[in-house]
Amino acid sequence: MSNLDWVCVPRLYEVRKNHLAGRATLEHPLKQQTVTVVDINPLSLALEGTDPLSQFARQDEELNDQLSQMVSELDLKSKRRERDRIEPEDNTLQWSTRRLGILNRFTTNEKLSLSTSFLVASGSLDGGNESIKAQTVVADKTKYRLEQLDHFDDGTMRHMMDLTQPEYIQRFEQLKQELTQSWHNDQRVKALKIAIQCAKMLADTTVLQFYPSQYVLITDILDVFGKLVYDRLQAKASGLPGASAATLEREREAARDTCQNWFYKIASIRELLPRLYLELSIFKCYEFLTSDREEYEKLLRRLTHQLRGIADPLVSTYARCYLVRMGVTVTPSKTYIRENFGDLFIVYPQIFRFVARFNLHPEIVTASSYLQLYAPAFDYMLLCLVHKCELHTQDMLNECKQLKNNGAILMSILSSFTSEFIATNALEFVELIKTSETPGISKSQLLRSLGSCVSSCAPLQEQRVTFLKAAFETINKLTDPNEYINCVETWAVFVSQYFTIHEVNRLLGELNTRMCLGKAYEKHYPQLQNILSRIMQNYRSIELLLIQPNFLPYLDLFQKESVRVEVCKTILTYYKQNSEEYTCDAVVTNALMYLGKILNDSVNALSVEDERRQISQLINVFIHKVHFGRDLEQQLGFYVEARGTFSNLDAVYVTLVHAACKLATRNTSRSTGFIKACISYCFITIPSISAVQQQMDLYLLCGQLALRHLCLGQADACFEAALQLVNDLPAATVDFEGKPRSLERYLVSYLCNMLATLIVVPDSPEQGVLYFLRLLLDVIGKHEFKADSTAPSVIYLHALDMLYVQSLEKYPYHIKGVVSNDDLYGHDPKFLAEINNLCVQVVDAILLQLKALGVAHQQRQQAELSLDLFLRIVRYADLERETVSQLALNLWLLANKSQTQLDTKTLPQTLRVVEQLYKQLRDVAPAQAQAIAKLLLRMRNS
């Protein structure tokens, strides 16, 4: 179709404008409309009046007036306050919150042994021995229980040896199930004997390091036993529903007798330890015998005195812990707890006789490990003593001072007493730790506990400096680097939270000096990293930290590259979260650049994409935060320095290009020199980015920016560079799910954007008429598309749109100050002839695409493309030319051949568009309208 006689026709804007009718409104047009649906119950139509259920609902609505709602809200709030007030009290002394921690902390690899007569080889969990039947007849109970006592003789005791810890725990779970099942099968004596045998095991300290966990497992069984006894007595005392007062009184009396019977049975146990544990396990049942709080106090004191008969200090301590644990559930008194501590302090020196023995035989257990066995019991007892009662706190502290080797008690005091009390007596605690010399409890352990307490509640303002100085005098005397660094790790929170930047800087300096001795830092990277994290997390201004003399030297302690990179990430992450909006401080900027350079240098060809993305995000954040105000040259200089520093990160280069473009828009002077410098910076930076797609986007952005600021030479260079990259664009890319994604849609969108921009770009006298459009068409002709792709056709159609706009006397939009081709050529005939020739080339290219679609049997795409080109010929070209009119008719016929592939409304709508165009031009351009009329006639005849 090279003989096509194409001539663009002028466009009549006054005809083509479609005005929308406006109307005044009082509501926002985007306001969400609410529709009220009235549901009429058909059954209510049969009633005279309203439906009774609806009437009740309406009465409820009327009752819910404002005052009623306020009262209900107040009641709800008061209930919530009451619940919030009660719950912490219950949870504070809950043993269950400590149980799992003890089981996880005190473990062993040694083999364990267990002695019991209730875990037989098979069938024990299926109801026990078949020869013993559960009796339900009351008359047979006495005979049955005697048979039980005879059957479960001590001679049937089984000894299970060489059990691993999981097997040992499993056996206790089986015992718990056996006890529960025996109880429900009315085998009370068997359940009691199981509890007795379990309590006896608490005297076994063969595997010392497992004893706290063993205590937890056994007391769980005792708790189950105590609950079963209590629930049975409670059920007896409550009686049947609806019973008379006399019957209820008889039931209560029977429950009281049964309760006394249980205590008599337990009192008859020969051995002290199981007798005490069993009585404590059912201690709550004393409420069926007495309601006097003082009586509870006497009973607890009696049991406290009996505990003096236990020789082993570890067994004795945990027995006292169980007594306190049972006591706090029945009485708020603290006297019996204080008396237990009095007894404990008497036997406390005996603990260190064991410690001295273990120092001679550390292969059994170390002195430190042995003293840690007491910690759960000491901690819980002290917590119960001081919970909501400060009466005994000072007394306990004074007695602790009098003790020799008081480290274990002091450790538990620091763990259990309130932070407020410890903060009030902080100087006293420091002196106490300073003089403490306890085997197995180092000063560093005590100092760490003290540091944790004062971090949550600091001493008085006037005491803080003195307190810190006294504490660090002791810390700095620690010769072991491990003890020293662990102490400083805990105290870093206190120093950064309550002191000025000078103390923080001094702490970093002392760390630098101390950890460089003998390269001690190589073994303590995690602690050094935690110290830095805690300082940055708690100090108010991270910018002040960055400019401290000892901050960057502290980073030199991290000689291992992987650790150093993680530390830099941590610092930049905290800077991202806690820094001010902008910074212009040169020292801060240099510190950030130093950190960013470490991260940039860590990126190599083996780095994963996620690592690159994470590092790029951190660096981009501080690039955005560096702001020099009106000093634009300094800002651009910073970007130049950043470009040289972060050469391994494409995402950072993209950020720098965007930042430079934004910087150009801030220029308020009339001179374009600075803008050209910014665009030149971008033009130099973009080729360093590896992704072709990002390069193309940035070139187009920079070209549009240059055009906006009248830098035509820079704009031309950017547009040309962008078009030259089209053939380097890969056919597909990989999305975040790892699937290939075609880039044809992106290319179509990108070139359409480019064509819209090129409308206002004036031709350069050095490059000829419509140079960029010719270059674009040449690039598209050389680009490899898929065989069935419609992408080139869409681009050619938009190029035809752009050429038609170029033929108009006045373009629809301009950039202020830019002389576009409509003013440059003044509708010159030679310019119009060039446009018409290019239109012919574009149409020929589209016709080739139509032919290719036909060969590929893509009838639907061929018909749609035919209609698109047909409408553009009707609107843009002079239909009085026979070749143009014939081409339009042929396209219409081609589309009609495939009308079954199209939507049924497509062809009629296209015909109506042409008819509407004829009506619009009939009075304005009669000759053009006449040509359209002839085309319509031929279309209908065909």
Q: Max Cα separation, the chain?
A: 128
Residue 269 has pLDDT above 80, yes or no: yes
Amino acid 506 reads R
Confidence of residue 616 (pLDDT cuts 50, 70, 90): very high
3-class DSSP assignment, residue 139: helix
Question: Distance between CA atoms of 296 and 671, rounded to whole angstroms?
Answer: 94
The structure tokens 């560079």 sit at 721
Confidence of residue 446 (pLDDT cuts 50, 70, 90): very high
CB 215 within 8 A of CB 273: no
Residue 569 has pLDDT above 90, yes or no: yes
Residue 429 in any domain: the answer is no
Based on the fold, state whether residues 886 and 848 are members of the same structural domain.
no
Question: Distance between CA atoms of 22 and 14, rounded to whole angstroms?
Answer: 19
Based on the fold, state whether residues 167 and 285 are members of the same structural domain.
yes
Q: Is 440 left (phi over 0), alpha (psi -120 to 50) or beta?
A: left
Instruction: Say what the pLDDT of residue 327 is.
Output: 92
Residue 770 in any domain: the answer is yes
H helices within 539-601, ranges in order? Answer: 542-546, 551-555, 561-578, 586-601
Closest CA to 345 of 402, 274, 383: 402
The strand pairing partners of 159, in sequence order, are 115
Residue 509 has pLDDT above 80, yes or no: yes
The strand pairing partners of 116, in sequence order, are 158
Q: Which of 264, 289, 314 finishes a domain?
A: 289
Distant-in-sequence, close-in-space partners of 611: CB < 8 Å, separation ≥ 6: 603
Q: Which of 266, 289, 312 finishes a domain?
A: 289
Based on the fold, state whether residues 848 and 895 are members of the same structural domain.
no
- Least trusted range by pLDDT, from 157-161, 282-286, 437-441: 157-161
Distant-in-sequence, close-in-space partners of 921: CB < 8 Å, separation ≥ 6: 12, 15, 928, 929, 932
Instruction: Say what the pLDDT of residue 68 is.
Output: 47
3-class DSSP assignment, residue 880: coil
Residue 465 in any domain: the answer is no
More confident of the two residues 759 and 13: 759
Q: 337: how many CB neighbours lie within 10 A of its CB?
A: 24
Cα-trace Rg, the chain: 45
Mean of pLDDT values over 60-86: 47
Instruction: Say what the pLDDT of residue 19 is.
Output: 66
Residue 282 in any domain: the answer is yes
Instruction: Say what the pLDDT of residue 856 is.
Output: 84
Question: Distance between CA atoms of 343 and 310, rounded to whole angstroms?
Answer: 12
Based on the fold, state whether residues 250 and 103 are members of the same structural domain.
yes
Measuring CA to CA, how many Å separate 298 from each of 94, 262, 502, 543? 24, 19, 58, 63
CB 914 within 8 A of CB 906: no
Q: 347: how many CB neighbours lie within 10 A of its CB?
A: 15
CB 679 within 8 A of CB 651: no
Question: Distance between CA atoms of 315 and 307, rounded to whole angstroms?
Answer: 10
CB 310 within 8 A of CB 273: yes
Based on the fold, state whether residues 226 and 274 are members of the same structural domain.
yes
Based on the fold, state whether residues 807 and 910 are members of the same structural domain.
no
CB 555 within 8 A of CB 564: yes
Question: How many angstroms from the chain centroid is the CA of residue 334?
Answer: 44
Based on the fold, state whether residues 767 and 849 are members of the same structural domain.
yes
Residue 841 has pLDDT above 90, yes or no: yes
Distant-in-sequence, close-in-space partners of 872: CB < 8 Å, separation ≥ 6: 797, 800, 801, 804
What mean pLDDT value characterizes the chain?
A: 85
pTM: 0.76
Structure tokens at 653: 């280069």
CB 872 within 8 A of CB 11: no
Structure tokens at 127: 């109801």
Residue 236 in any domain: the answer is yes
Tens of pLDDT, residue by residue over 893-923, are: 998 888 888 888 888 898 898 988 888 888 8
Question: 473-481 — which CB contacts under 8 Å span 24+ positions?
Answer: 473/434, 474/430, 474/433, 474/434, 474/443, 474/447, 475/444, 475/447, 476/510, 476/514, 478/443, 478/444, 480/444, 481/514, 481/515, 481/517, 481/518, 481/520, 481/523, 481/524
Residue 776 in any domain: the answer is yes
Based on the fold, state whether residues 784 and 921 are members of the same structural domain.
no
- Domain around 931: 880-941
Mean of pLDDT values over 70-85: 49
The structure tokens 């273990």 sit at 358
- Least trusted range by pLDDT, from 209-213, 704-708, 786-790, 927-931: 786-790
Residue 64 has pLDDT above 50, yes or no: no
- Least trusted range by pLDDT, from 135-144, 165-174, 441-450, 818-827: 135-144
Closest CA to 682 of 646, 709, 643, 649: 643
Tens of pLDDT, residue by residue over 189-242, are: 999 999 999 999 999 888 888 999 999 999 999 999 999 999 999 988 887 777
Residue 48 has pLDDT above 60, yes or no: no
Angle between helices 211-238 and 272-281 (to 10 degrees): 50
Residue 400 has pLDDT above 60, yes or no: yes
Measuring CA to CA, how many Å separate 803 from each of 277, 839, 875, 915? 99, 7, 13, 25
Most confident of 89-103, 711-725, 926-940: 711-725
What domain count does the chain have? 3
Based on the fold, state whether residues 105 and 248 are members of the same structural domain.
yes
Tens of pLDDT, residue by residue over 15-46, are: 455 667 777 877 777 776 665 554 545 444 44
Q: Distance from first CA to last CA of the chain, Å, rounded? A: 22
Question: 164-170 — which CB contacts under 8 Å span 24+ positions?
Answer: 164/111, 164/112, 165/107, 165/108, 165/109, 165/112, 165/210, 167/112, 168/112, 168/114, 169/217
Q: What is the DSSP letter of 158?
A: E
Based on the fold, state whether residues 777 and 901 are members of the same structural domain.
no
Instruction: Say what the pLDDT of residue 866 is.
Output: 92
Q: Which of 289, 310, 345 finishes a domain?
A: 289
Mean of pLDDT values over 56-76: 47
Based on the fold, state whether residues 933 and 890 are members of the same structural domain.
yes
Structure tokens at 307: 């505990």
Handedness of CA 766, 771, 776, 779 (dihedral sign): negative
Distant-in-sequence, close-in-space partners of 689: CB < 8 Å, separation ≥ 6: 650, 653, 654, 695, 698
Based on the fold, state whether residues 215 and 104 are members of the same structural domain.
yes
Residue 26 in any domain: the answer is no
Residue 455 in any domain: the answer is no
Residue 88 has pLDDT above 50, yes or no: no
The structure tokens 């803008």 sit at 675
